[in-house]
Copies of this chain bind each other. A is one copy, B any other.
Amino acid sequence: MNEAYEKLKQQLGEVSDIQGAMSVLMWDQLVMMPPGGAGVRAERVGTLTRLAHERFVSDEVGELLDELAPLQEELPFESDEASLIRVTRRDWEKRRRVPADLAAEMARHASQADKAWVQARAASDFAAFKPWLQKTFELKRRYVDCFEPAGDPYDVLLDDYEPGLTTAIVEPVFERLKEGLGPLIGAGGDAAEAFERGPFPEARQHELSLFVLDRFGFTGEDWRLDPTVHPFCQSFATSDIRLTTRYAEDDLSSLFSAMHEFGHGVYERGVSADLERTPLAAGASMAMHESQSRLWENLVGRSLPFWRWAYPETQKAFPDVLGDVELERFHRAINRVRPSYIRVDADETTYGMHIILRFELERQLLAGSIELDDLPAAWNAKMAEYLGVDVTEDRLGVLQDIHWSGGMVGYFPSYQLGNVISVQIWEKVREGIPDLDEQLERGEFGELRSWLGEHVYRHGRKFTTGQLLDRLVGGGIDPEPYLAYLNDKLSTLSPV
């Protein structure tokens, strides 16, 4: 190719290497590290963050981008080269506004606050976590100030996860969801059946997860699955994918977490190997990522065709608990609408309300229009209003999520937008694979994975969510297919 382009790729490769090392440090910290390692680890992460930042926002990268502008014009929009130059410029212009010291301070704070959060959550002690949270939002305000937000200051944070998305776009989608989800939540809520509480021995849950993931496409060659406090997925290369999950004897949530994280992992696994060690080697956005985790968790993993295949093996794993439970009763139970405390355990219908609550509180916290002392009460009031749930302990309420300790403010909306987008994409999958249900019933997921790989995964970050969605469905984010899907599903679930 071109000398400047090769130079740019080399420089970006180094940045990728430093960031990749940080990913390993973060994964190790959450999955493996003894608590004593936290202090020094925070220093390491701070230094690497600064190094990666400095090298990425350097004048040299800017000059190479200028030099490569004509090449970008010449080449097709979706070529690897034009995309790399275009997306790198967008990132470069954005990050250049953030001083290296602030970036390092945010990373160091995130690393330390995470440890504090783990302890505060275990002790259900919001007061112990409050100073860390205060600092998180102070840093976020300083971060927002690096930009000159035209609209809502929250737009700056949203844009980190959803390039091009604004509060003005999100708010009406969420208002429509609130309106559409409310009646469904009111209509659900029959009591849990005894079999839903297990006991499900943890070792068998692990085996069952691996049985399902193996058919999905998980292999020991490129993947790992480990237990941790809060399930997540991280990739260190397109062929080194780490999933984590958590086990509880009294529910089967680990299986759904595993399918969820698999959806994130298979996205990263499917990014074209040609994009490795470049800024394009990741998902298009957090919402697009979440659309894939939700697709595998819910549209596949809570569907009746899937369970026609998976249920016999599940009964074999837990014969005492599920031996006498018919498939349709089990399927109804895993799809029942039941308001609860914990977002990651929430059903597809109530989930949106958890997100809308966080979206509203984050905006208030950023604006300073709510005191931190009042946050648990505000959280609990919204839980009562939106879901009819009475939160009695902060570990089941405001302390449940890792995001605010990790500095990931503005991230939550992506989750619900992912749900919405997942159904928009699913409609296209059904057009592309007419016998999809029959394949799922046979435990065959290869064609589904290939379709998604071809239309979504391989592009990595070449397109924004808006661009990719427009290519796929010829339009923008639309909550109606999602609401229709929920209405349809809930009305057709077999009664007890």
Chain A residues in the interface with B (C-beta under 8 A) = 13-14, 17-18, 20-22, 24-25, 28, 32-37, 39-41, 43-44, 46-48, 51, 220-224, 236-241, 276-277
| Separation of A44 and B237 alpha carbons in the complex (Å) | 10
Q: Enumerate the 10 nearest inter-chain pairs by beta-carbon distance, A residue then B residue, closest first.
A: A37-B240, A36-B239, A40-B237, A36-B222, A17-B47, A17-B44, A21-B21, A20-B44, A36-B221, A14-B47
Question: Secondary structure at chain A's binding surface: helix, strand, loop or mixed?
Answer: helix
Beta-carbon contact of A237 and B36 below 8 Å: yes
Across the interface, do A41 and B221 meet the contact criterion of CB distance under 8 Å?
Answer: no
Measured CA separation A163–B241 after assembly (Å):
41
Number of copies: 2
A324–B48 Cα distance when bound, in Å, is 57
**A221 near B34: Cβ-Cβ < 8 Å:** yes
B contact residues around A46 at 8 Å (CB): 17
Question: Could you name 25 residue pairs across A and B whose Cβ atoms are closer than 8 Å?
Answer: A17-B43, A17-B48, A18-B47, A21-B44, A24-B24, A24-B28, A28-B28, A32-B224, A33-B236, A34-B220, A34-B221, A34-B222, A34-B223, A34-B239, A36-B237, A37-B237, A37-B239, A40-B238, A40-B240, A40-B276, A40-B277, A41-B236, A41-B237, A41-B240, A43-B277
A199 to chain B minimum Cβ distance, whole angstroms, is: 22
In the complex, what residues of B have CB within 8 A of residue A40's CB?
20, 236-240, 276-277
Write out the residue numbers on chain B whose beta carbons fall within 8 Å of the beta carbon of A277. Answer: 40, 43
- Cross-chain contact B18 with A237 (CB below 8 angstroms): no
CB atoms of B34 and A32 under 8 A apart: no
**A28 shortest CB reach to chain B, Å:** 6
A209→B148 CA distance, assembly (Å): 59
Q: How far is the CB of A237 from chain B (nearest CB, A)?
A: 3
By a CB distance below 8 angstroms, the chain B residues around A239 are 34, 36-37, 39-40
Quote the shortest CB–CB distance from A468 to chain B (angstroms).
25
